[in-house]
Structure 1
Amino acid sequence: MKKANLPGAEGAVPSKTALEQERKILLDLGNDLTRVRDKNDLIALFSKRLKSLYSITHAIIALIDHKDETYGAFLYDIENSPIKSHPGYKLLFGQRFTLNEPFIKSVLAADGPISFILEEVMDQPQSPAFLRVNYEGGIREILMTKLLNAEKPIGFINIYSDKAGRFTNEFRSIMNGIAPQLSSAVTNIIKNEELRNKEKEKSFLLEFSSDIATVRTKEELARSVRTAINKLNQKSGYVIRRINEDKTTMSPYVFDLGLKEHDQNIVNALQKASYPINDGLQNRVLESPIPLLFNVEREIQRGLTAPYLLNWQAMGFKNFLGIRLRNGETNLGLLFLDIEEINVPLLQGICSQISIALANIMANEQISKKQEEQAFLLNFSNDITQVRTKNDLQAAIVTVLDKTLHTKLAMIRVIDEDGFHMSPFMFDKTLFEKAKVDFEKMSANVITIEEKYTAQVLASEEGVVFNIEEELKSGNAYAQLWKTTGLRNSYGLPLRVGNKNIGTIWMQADRLSPLILRGICAQISIAIANILANEKLLAYKKQLEVENDYLKEQIKTIYNFSEIIGNADTMQKVYRLMSLVAESNTTVLVLGETGTGKELIARAIHNASPRRDKLMVKVNCAALPANLIESELFGHERGAFTGAIDRRLGKFELANQSTLFLDEIGELPLEAQSKLLRVIQERELERLGGKQTIKVDVRLIAATNRNLEEEVKAGRFRADLYYRLNVFPITLPPLRERADDIEPLIHFFVARYSKNTGRRIKKVTPKVIQQLRSYVFPGNVRELEHLIERSVLLATDGVLDEVYIPRETNAEKHEQAYALNRSLGQVERDYIIDVLKRCAGKISGSGGAAEILDIPGNTLHSKMKKLGITKADYFS
């Protein structure tokens, strides 16, 4: 590096006069420096004093930044600079020059002032640009002197001259002498500036804190931030983003990017924008405890594709600062600021205040939002409480979801009574029409609680959110339907009453509050449960109206096991069989003549079984019309046949978990027998006109007075059904074989009908008892009951002393026909023994065998002796 030559003889000793002059100049310069209070005054006074003594044009002071090893101008004498009109002059103000180049290294290596002829150095490799600018402005030589602080260079004083060779040894000596004072002055100015700046920052932060403390809305926040940025002489744009509720994205909250009115579309787009946090830039800001400075072009070149970066590039932004906003340890969002210089402490102070304001605003918004949501749910609850029908509910839901929440209801499904299948309850028909989906066809598909998406929803606590675009890519069959709404997400939510799932609801929306979702689903669940319950009640009401008489009859005929009258040996056998089978679920077949009490036995078995808590259901197969047998037994759906205006539960369903008594089973048509057999075997049925299989748990007791074996042989009864029913047969003896039970039965029925008719029967005469014991009773107990009822009504004095007994019955005719196959003597002998048995061995008198045979007592004695009849024959 070539240096300028010094005028005068080398090594010449200055005269005494020269030394005095130099001392005076240094003293005057020192006095000037002590009067300096402003940094601009320093260079102006310094230049003015030197110009009056030496041939110089102007001076500047440059400062070194050791952090990035650069230097740049600190003080300019702009008014007196001869190059101020040069086009490149002002460009030098903010420019930084490296310390790692030959020109400035030679200055740093020099022991004192050093000068350079610009023409010789300005075109040297890596020479700083300000040399050429000065040369083009008429400057020919530069003198540079290091400024030191604690032996460390802090900058340079640059003196310029428009003529070469003007920097004498005397001048160099003066510059060398004044350099320490000049260094101290510069150091003091820097410190004073730092103090003033800190005071200004404190004042600014205090003022900003006072301003931000009054902020309650995001509009007020935007105004305060813009005012603060303007005070910092930053006219650039900014954006504050906040973290969304999903914790994975961020959206602009308040911003001012200097957009014009015609950029309103951009503003609207920004207000709706949402950016992933982990985009390579936002996440870096949130993780950094200090502000980060970014260059737009450099970040794009790194491969970042965030849309806002491209927008900033199009707007002309070059550098921007990112600093996180947090409240305590919680990140709230971040601030992006278009800025060139960073004052880290000041920005951190600003962002701290913004964070507090943002947290307060968010808290207020949350409170307001919750209050609005609670008010909304209260109004919705009031609307729901007035709902009584499905149509009313749909109108209320559509009004709330569509008009208030901008949400679409797609479908509500409810779980069927079997707890497995699901049926459509409510849907938006317009969605299916837009998607060109056949709802009838879609709803015909059997949906169960195990279906993929339904199972997910029912298993969740607060529902499942499906992103519609992602579901379209995954092949979700419902996604095409959801897409027609133009909304972002589909919400599948469980409908529950208590802890019981009753169905699912599907809605489409961009975003819904969890509180709103929970409240809506709770209200809709209750409303649906009430509607379903009302529908069931209406159906059951009709059912009960039809079956009311039947149930009353059943209740009237309930007897306890202990109320069966009879202690004969034959009845003891029946009791033993009943006790053996009562506790099991075994099918029982009760056989016996008409009137023997088969239904009473069936009820006694039921009342002694574990199913006693539920009413036994009775079906008289002989009384059912052939075309209604299947409907009566298995039930039917609405519209299953002409006249089926409502769904009807069959007797099997009514008897679920209880006992079904099929009386007169032998009268059942063959077609109905085959269907009955299937239900008995499979323990399941289908209603007429229905597709749903219904599981039933029914204990069967069947009864008949027919000989089913003979019926099977004749082809009138299915053999396989007979074997299914004849698991545990119980045969009831006819009343004529239990003569000892007649008297207790008489007293039982007398007591019953005395109470029912209001007649007070105090006594039954022996004559009546004897007459009834000697009667054959082809109608068995039922006939005895009817005879007693008639006799009680005819009694007038409180004594039952007469009873009407038919003289000829079908049973007697049957006995006569049987007698044709025997000899006359055998017939006569058997007949007399049978009569004596019925008369308890009494031969003469009222109720005696002679009276029944209509012969004198002596004649009967003679016949008995002749035929060899002894007491052993009729008292066995």
Structure 2
Amino acid sequence: MKRNAKNDSAPAPSKAILEQERKVLLDLGNDITRIREKNDLITLFKNRIKGLFYFTHTIITLIDHKDETYWPFLLDNEGSPIRTHPRYKEMVQAHFSLNDPFIQAVLHSEEPVSFLLEDIMDEPKSPPFLRVNYEGGVREILMTRLMKEGKPMGFIHLYSDRTDSFTAELRGVMKGFAPQLSSAVSNIIKNEEILNKEKEKSFLLDFSSEIAAVRTKEDLTRALRSALRKLDQNSGFVIRRINEDKTTLSAYVYDLGTIKRDEKALQVLVKTKYPINDGLQNRVLNSAIPLLFNVEREIQRGITSSYLALWKKMGFRNFVGVRLRNGENNLGILLLDIQEIKIELLQGICSQISTALANIMANEQVSKKQEEQAFLLGFSSAITKVRTKADLQAAIFEVLAQTMNTQLAMIRVMESDGIHLNVFMYDASLFANAKVNFDKMSGNTITVHEQYTAQVLASKEGVVFNVQEELRNGSAYAKLWNTTGYKNMYGLPLRVGDKNIGSIWLLADSLGPLLLKGICSQIAIAVANILANEQLIAYKKQLEIENDYLKEQIKTIYNFSEIIGSGETMQEVYRLMGLVAESNTTVLILGETGTGKELIARAIHNSSPRKEHLMVKVNCAALPANLIESELFGHEKGAFTGAIDRRLGKFELAHNSTLFLDEIGELPLEAQAKLLRVIQERELERVGGKQVIKINVRLIAATNRNLEEEVKAGRFRADLYFRLNVFPISLPPLRERLEDIEALAYFFVKKYSRNTGRNIRKISPRVIQQLRSYTWPGNVRELEHLIERSVLLATDHTLNDVYIPRHTDSDKQEQAFLLNRTLEEVERAYIIETLKRCAGKISGVGSAAEVLDIPGNTLHSKMKKLNITKRDYFS
């Protein structure tokens, strides 16, 4: 029940009562001006009012508008009858909702409002402190709102163990005193904020002075421990630093505070590298503000990092995570076992820790670098003078022996194929006790798949092989290493950028990884420069030759934009091309002259992994016999009369590409033998040269000859034929591709119309029929030339005439063939052939009857008589 007065019809207060109220308010106002601490306010209020009015105790609560709650601010601990209640501590620390009807009645009333606890304490949403007070003997509460700048800032609560304590006079005093009390509370809050800020400033100033003296990790630990003890006696901390791999964090400095130490767990925490992206550490590093974590809750969320389980085992419950950042760079994180701390204060602490941490890390780096700089500076100075392999070897031997007490076992460099490694440099004196075995093993060309080499090239900073361990594994290399007396073999990759160019092998008892990295990078650059200098002239000359060859090839490239043909025979060709294009298999293209063998070769090359390189073409029929070897394999300067400079052959030009040997059947037998060797060994020697050059060339050969007959006749080597005939592709003659003639004709008409400026858009049916009826001894090339001539002679937009030769050798051969057959057989065969060429059309324009120059009915009769059916000419 809400009670604003004892009796709504009570008479107005007497003059004496009003005077007493005024005096009380005046005395309270004078007393408030002397208040400095917040507890003084409750004492003053109680002492002044209790002599005039009856109540048990009072408190002041403040409103938090952000989360719509109110909470205890000033407490009358001495007078409170509930201070021994089990829930007293809970009530003191709790926040209560502003949205319950009880408090809303107070918020909307300008007068003090009283309530009987038994009427409201069990209502829905009623705050629990009402029942707690009732259980402590309180029966009535009087509440007056406190205002600031027209907005409620809190309440003053008066409690009584009677139901008649809150008289009209007391209500009048509370109403009159509320504004002064509001001002006093506001001043107290401001004074507390000022004092807290001064304390924080003083704390940060002292901490800054301590941090300024920090030079080592130990200094940082002491300074941080001292500062945190001032905030929380039980606090512990750990600073984790981002490791060089940029993917993990490790403990850098730490202090467990008062947590019971578990040495085994502690050692695990200190030595383990924890991934940054573990769902917790990355959140801290990505957050601009400190984050509060609960160990149990993070484990339940699925964070699987082992340190959470260890923390739980060691007794940690809650912790704060703060990123440590120097400028734009994350250095690490601070994990703090502390229950309560202001964010602004914590950020100020971490800002200074970050500066100190950056300085310590910088000092550590400086110290390490100073130790290495003298060595690397001397080595770098020696390397800068290197121009040859001998210079580099002298520089390496001197520096390694004097500074690092180690010796160079070997340097191997990668060949251009990216697989084989050859010996580049070694110290022969190192293996004097095992010279025979060393000479034998060092002379071998190894590959990137060799056991030790594969491990080294796959590593980031090299691999250390313990000689005795490798001996127990039965390694033949370890037996050789053991003769030197050193404990370890250090294998390191030589890289320029991200590319492996070789490996370096050093024998020593112990070597620092940072020094090794610096040495290898400089040796790698020196080796790369030497190799580049050795090959620069060769590459320059090769580029000049390739440029000339390109210009020549551009003029002679067969200018088809696509292959025309959709019939069954060509579909089979396409199928074979598709099967072989992606491989490195040698291809032999067979077919009559003019069938498009070079076009097929280019299509296979352009569909292969080698398409980024130029396909090199050699016309074997056009090569003079005395220059074939030089043209194919190249020659050295002075190899023969007229060889004024070194020349790269077509095989070298086609390295990592495709070499097309056209008209291979025309190659002389002597050249065939040398070609066979190159194909078998995948290596060659230039004319007049001694150097063996490895090549990676895919061969495509073509011929219009019957190589089997050539082998039988002794004009072509059988072994070379078998080497070339790995994957034969036979191109059909045009007379067997009648279905493609029309498409080819339109293609060439379009091509030459564009080239000559004509506008021919159509070919007459009669012309198509003429083209299909011709035997095409010159195949597609003959068709192309015939269309080109016909386009030039055309007079309108339709190609009405073609100029087909009337007598050819093939006609004579066909006549000779017919002489050996009966008249009926000849007539039947001729009619069937004509029907095939006319696509089965018997009569009408472009029909077989028109070609045979007989009436259609006559042709029907002859077909019936000769038993010619559709099966014969549509088969």
- With the length of structure 1 as denominator, give the TM-score of the two structures: 0.49
Structure 1 or 2, whichever has the larger Rg, is 1
